[in-house]
Structure 1
Amino acid sequence: MSDLLADTNVALGVSGSIAAVKVVELAHELRRHGASVRAVMTDAATSIIHPWAVEFATEHDVVTEITGRVEHVELCGRDGWADVLLLAPATANTVGKVAAAVDDTPVTTCATTALGAGVPVVCAPAMHEPMYDHPGVLDAIDRVESWGVDFVDPRIEEGKAKIATEDAIVTGVARAAGDRPLDGRHVVVTAGATSEAVDTVRVLTNRASGRTGRAIARALSARGADVTLLHDASAAGEGVDGDPPWADVVDVESAAEMTEAAVAACVDADALVSAAAISDYTVERVGEKIRSGEESLTLDLTPTPKLLDTVREAFPDLTLVGFKAESEGDDDALVERARETLDRAGLAFVVANDADVMGAEETRALIVRRDGADEYAGSKLGLGLRVAAEIAGVWE
């Protein structure tokens, strides 16, 4: 699926929340992104999901007790197997015990060992909301965060602090365990289509789904960047549930709003990746719904300012990455048009592709630099990782 967790060994600590029923799919998702997974379970967790199910999902024996094999050291010691310890789900009980260095379950014993050995720890809490809001639990979270533990915040729904989505947890694990060449960098990403209002109901827009931009934002976060994502949340497409937790999201609609937000976000940014399909034309909006079927209608279209040109004018030294989509011509023509954009706005590189990939799961693109062009084919998340690597290369 992607190399987000390639060659990463994840020790998965499961405690006794009802969210433990999601562990099988979580383990599969970690493995789909390249990780090897070995699980550790509390007694309470084994009452909710059988260790055999977790063994099936991980293809490894499950640790349910600490024996003479000192499994906690084997997994999470200084020379242990794990690159990262993921506590998911983590109950209020488990978080409190980790904060107090109480080692009375295999999971908390692994956590103490990992923290002492310098193994990264990621925690995905799950509990009823009043428990999550308890001052002692909040103090425990603050305390272990001060030790370097990363938290993947729960989703607050129906009076419960529900475990974060699998995508969010996988991204958090990748950020904690993998290479972070963009650590300390702030990158702004634009994604999806913009819409130009014709009247109170109708808009001019395009077919862009925003999948590529959101995948790039996710990949940049996984590689250590602090990400600001500019997109139209209402047009994010099927399967997108709320704002992605790995980015600060600014909701915009029109090309003008996107450009204004980009200039504002780039004040303290190190780079801008403009992956959005921004409207080339706008129209003067009518103040009420245009009645249909009465007469022909002519719209006067006015060109919109180019976002990259506007940002370049405001920030002459900012690293800019552009996208170029075309619906006709071969690769040579695509590279030529991409280089025109690259030279005009002083871009670091351009990602050029055929417009046919809009909305698709997979993509094919050309990474066009001044010194040449390389092909990429695969998932959009994989393209995001490639973009992250290219940006890191610019700053080396």
Structure 2
Amino acid sequence: MTDLLADTNVALGVSGSIAAVKVVELAHELRRHGASVRAVTTEASRGIVHPWAVEFATDVDVVTEITGAVEHVELCGRDGWADVLLLAPATANTVGKVAAAIDDTPVTTCATTALGAGVPVVVAPAMHEPMYDHPGVLDAIERVESWGVRFVDPRVEEGKAKLATEEAIVTETARVAGDRPLDGKHVVVTSGATSERLDPIRVLTNRASGRTGRAVARACYARGADVTLLHDGGEVPYAEVVSVTSTAEMTEAAVVACEDADALVSAAAISDYTVDGSDEKIRSGAESLTIELTPTPKLVDTVREEYPDLAIVGFKAETEGDDEALVGRAREILDRAGLSFVVANDASVMGEEGTRAFVVRGEDASEAFEGSKLELGLRVADELAGEIAANSN
């Protein structure tokens, strides 16, 4: 499957937080990733977002009350339509009612039914920060979590516990509702560019955006893995992030992180050279300047030497524009470092949303893959899951 939520039925419960205004875009995003969505709303939420708007976003009638058609059972019963119930946004009132098995709104009635029927539930709270910090609300969250319900932590900003990003909510929903072939596995992913310090101001780096590495990390998390992401970037909702800058820092961090890992995916565009940086700013002027470049150790070789049995996936980017040559270059690194497989792509995809790549194993190479980087990430995660399973037998 090339979508995070392919063939997934999501019942979307909307309660009366002001964050309900974001539900239209959230429903669209769920559907963009392959889900079918049916919404259930509380009376309070309908004062914030009109059911017609939600109907437009889901392309199906909205459940606004429980009638003789027993909509809660039809949606969330043991043989119901939904693969997962997503409460987004969930107010303090809704979370408290779910914890106490009170079902006096269409949303809480669906939650009671889903929990009794074993339907997975994801909750994305949104409320003012003092409400989120209330001991009773925290107790309710802890109690509901103890039942196996997954919470998507809000973004605490400006005195508010704001609804998590669409990316975080969609990814957690995919992890809960979908297949998890990497469940219980720890995957380390390197991503983006490294930077070698020339002086306190300047660096030697490359054009890599890190989109591919982040997509692989997100896909591995959605497939059930615990993910450690090594990159020169900020926090992401689907991985433990280790911030690194230089090739040496990334290599050292990879060796440490892989100590208890099941696999490494080296998707970063790691600098092949470093320099002996100056402690002072290199002064500009008319004179020419010569910089001596020193080769850096290959990260995959270093990790392979440390962990001979670890499943390692490499990435290889080239500029030649010839598929046969690209696959040949990938096969060289595959053989040299004993990799599980190598993803080969033309460097022209750096910074782009889409990609074109080959998965290279031994003498075999896949047909050219063309699609989004997230779709490629899912392909890598599924290939990796098969590799780990084969190695464990």
Q: Sort the TM-score into its range (normalised by shorter chain).
A: over 0.9
Question: Would you say how many aligned residue pairs link Structure 1 and Structure 2?
Answer: 388
Q: Which amino acid aligns with 1:278?
A: I
Residue pair 2:41, 2:64 contacting (<8 A) in 1 also: yes
For the pair 1:7 / 2:40, whether they are aligned, the reply is: no
Q: Which residue of 2 aligns with 1:236?
A: none
Q: Normalization by structure 1: what TM-score? A: 0.97
Matched, 1:273 2:265: yes
Could you tell me which residue of structure 2 aligns to residue 237 of structure 1?
A: none
Residue 150 of structure 2: aligned partner: 150
Contact 2:9 2:36 (8 Å CA) reproduced: yes
Partner of 1:333: 325
Residues 91-130 of structure 1 mapped to structure 2, 5 A cutoff: 91-130=91-130
What corresponds to 2:383 in structure 1?
A: 390
SS in 2 for 1:395: helix
How far did residue 371 of structure 1 move? 4.6
Hey, what's the Cα distance between the residues in 2 that align with 1:289 and 1:115?
Answer: 62
Return the alpha-carbon distance in structure 2 between the equivalents of residues 229 and 329 of structure 1.
Answer: 30
1:294 Cα offset (Å): 4.4
1:352 equivalent among 314, 334, 344: 344
Question: Aligned ranges for residues 119-268 of structure 1 at < 5 Å?
Answer: 119-233=119-233, 242-268=234-260
CA distance in 1, matches of 2:39, 2:147: 23
**Contact 2:262 / 2:388 at 8 angstroms: preserved in 1?**
no
Q: Is the Cα–Cα contact under 8 Å of residues 198 and 285 in structure 1 kept in the other structure?
A: yes
Structure 2: distance between partners of 1:17 and 1:364: 42
Unaligned segments of structure 1, at least 5 residues: 234-241
Q: Offset of 1:46 from its aligned partner?
A: 0.3
Q: TM-score, normalised by structure 2?
A: 0.97
Which one-letter code corresponds to 2:371 in the other structure? G
Instruction: Give deviations 1:237-268, integer Å, cap 9, x for gaps.
Output: xxxxx421100001110000000110111111
Mapped to 1, the partners of 2:162 and 2:74 lie a distance apart of: 31
Between the aligned partners of 1:120 and 1:185, the Cα distance in structure 2 is 21
CA deviation after TM superposition for structure 1 residue 395, in Å = 2.4
* RMSD (CA atoms): 1.0
Read off the aligned partner of 2:384 and give its amino acid letter: I
Alignment correspondent of 1:376: 369
Is the CA contact 1:195–1:205 (under 8 Å) kept in the aligned structure 2?
yes
> Does the 8 Å contact 1:3/1:34 carry over to 2?
yes
Deviations 1:166-199 (A, max 9, x none): 1111001100000000000000000000000000
CA distance in 2, matches of 1:81, 1:71: 10
- Secondary structure of 1:87's aligned partner: strand
Structure 2 unaligned blocks of 5 or more: none
**Is contact 1:2-1:379 (8 Å) kept?**
no
Contact 2:7 2:36 survives alignment (8 Å) = yes
Kindly report which structure 2 residues correspond to 1:314-333, keeping only aligned pairs within 5 A, or say none: 314-333=306-325
1:298-330, Cα deviation, whole Å (9 max, x unpaired): 101000000000000111111000000000051
AA matched with 2:56: F
Partner of 2:288: 296
Name the aligned partner's letter for residue 389 of structure 1: D
Q: Which runs of 4+ in 1 moved over 4 A?
A: none
How many percent of aligned residue pairs carry the same amino acid? 81
Deviation at 1:2, TM superposition (A): 5.0
| 1:57-92: CA deviation from partner (whole Å, max 9, x where unpaired) | 101111111111111000000000000000000011
Distance 2:298 2:139 in 1: 48
CA contact (8 A) 2:311 2:388 kept: no
**Aligned equivalents of 1:206, 1:217: Cα separation in 2:** 21
